[in-house]
Amino acid sequence: DSGVTQTPKHLITATGQRVTLRCSPRSGDLSVYWYQQSLDQGLQFLIQYYNGEERAKGNILERFSAQQFPDLHSELNLSSLELGDSALYFCASSVPLGGGSTDTQYFGPGTRLTVL
Amino acid sequence: AQKVTQAQTEISVVEKEDVTLDCVYETRDTTYYLFWYKQPPSGELVFLIRRNSFDEQNEISGRYSWNFQKSTSSFNFTITASQVVDSAVYFCALSGRSASKIIFGSGTRLSIRP
């Protein structure tokens, strides 16, 4: 168990809909990262938040957005869903509150999104 | 640009055999980090090891060992005396100095047959 939690574990929805994925980082970690794993694209970085602020952006579609709240949990919002958005979405966290160089990202169990 | 290549898409061996998973990376950064993650059939991503670019010492952890060679830009992973529980997809990955994002290879699916 990495200490990173994600909900829900599975999500089935229809095209055009909007969903929210939730992530709670490891205790004390300030950074949250979102990744998408799909069969055709592999594991791809979407976005990073650090202590509530966006820190880096990857291949994230404009239909997708994220935020990190004061309690450090994060949400990934996916809207106008398309069939191709079906994937496993991972959240990861790193950087403990006390500093210390552990840039290792620890991953949550993922949310499997199926768009029908 | 950063890139990670895992040329072996799938490997299948019989239990107790040794197996090496290859990883070749590309980066222009002088400071970078290399990782291996394991994704068992249950789907989660499990961290195995992190190496920084200044530490070329090989590492051994039980039946697992890693060979980092900057001269060939490789970071290979060997499992000794493989077990059925080692069956998983293994990802090699790379991040730059800022460690903002991890670039993953395409993964190697390892099947250990009893």
Probe site for chain B from A35, A54, A95, A104 (most B CB atoms < 10 A): A104
- Whether the predicted pLDDT of A102 surpasses 60: no
The mean-pLDDT minimum among A4-18, B10-24, B41-55 falls in B41-55
Beta-strand pair A10-13/A111-115: parallel
Contacts of A109 in chain B (CB under 8 A): 42-44
CB contact under 8 A, A56 and B101: yes
B9 at interface of A, judged by CB pairs closer than 8 A: no
Residue B96's pLDDT band (cuts 50, 70, 90): confident
CB contact under 8 A, A107 and B45: yes
Which residue, among A60, A66, A52, has the nearest Cα to A19 in the 3D structure?
A66
- Other Cβ atoms within 10 Å of B43 Cβ, number: 14
A38 at interface of B, judged by CB pairs closer than 8 A: no
B40 at interface of A, judged by CB pairs closer than 8 A: no
What is the per-residue DSSP string for chain A?
--S-EEE-SEEEE-TT--EEEEEEPPTTEEEEEEEEEETTTEEEEEEEEETTEEEEE-S--TTEEEEE-TTS-EEEEE-S--GGG-EEEEEEEEEETT-------EE---EEEEE-
The radius of gyration of chain B's CA atoms, rounded to the nearest angstrom, is 14
- Whether the predicted pLDDT of A99 surpasses 60: no
The radius of gyration of chain A's CA atoms, rounded to the nearest angstrom, is 14
Q: How far is CA B58 from the centre of its chain?
A: 13
Measured distance CA(B80)–CA(B26) in Å, rounded = 27
**Least CA distance to A39: which residue of chain B?**
B106
Nearest CA distance, B82 vs chain A (angstrom)? 23
CB contact under 8 A, B50 and A104: yes
Tell the residue number behind the tokens 């509150």, with chain if given: A97
Least CB–CB distance from A105: residue in B42, B102, B107: B102
**Least CA distance to B104: which residue of chain A?**
A43
Measured distance CA(A36)–CA(B68) in Å, rounded = 28
Q: Which residues contact B59 (CB under 8 A, 6 or more apart)?
A: B49, B51, B65, B66
Measured distance CA(A22)–CA(A9) in Å, rounded = 10
Task: Check residue A53 and give its pLDDT.
Answer: 92
Average pLDDT of chain A? 92
More confident residue, B56 or B6: B6
- Whether the predicted pLDDT of B112 surpasses 60: yes
Nearest CA distance, B6 vs chain A (angstrom)? 12
Task: Check residue A28 and give its pLDDT.
Answer: 86
Interval A24-78: pLDDT, tens: 999 989 999 999 999 888 999 999 999 999 988 998 999 999 999 999 999 999 9
Least CB–CB distance from A104: residue in B42, B47, B91: B47
- Other Cβ atoms within 10 Å of B60 Cβ, number: 10
Probe site for chain A from B3, B5, B45, B49 (most A CB atoms < 10 A): B45
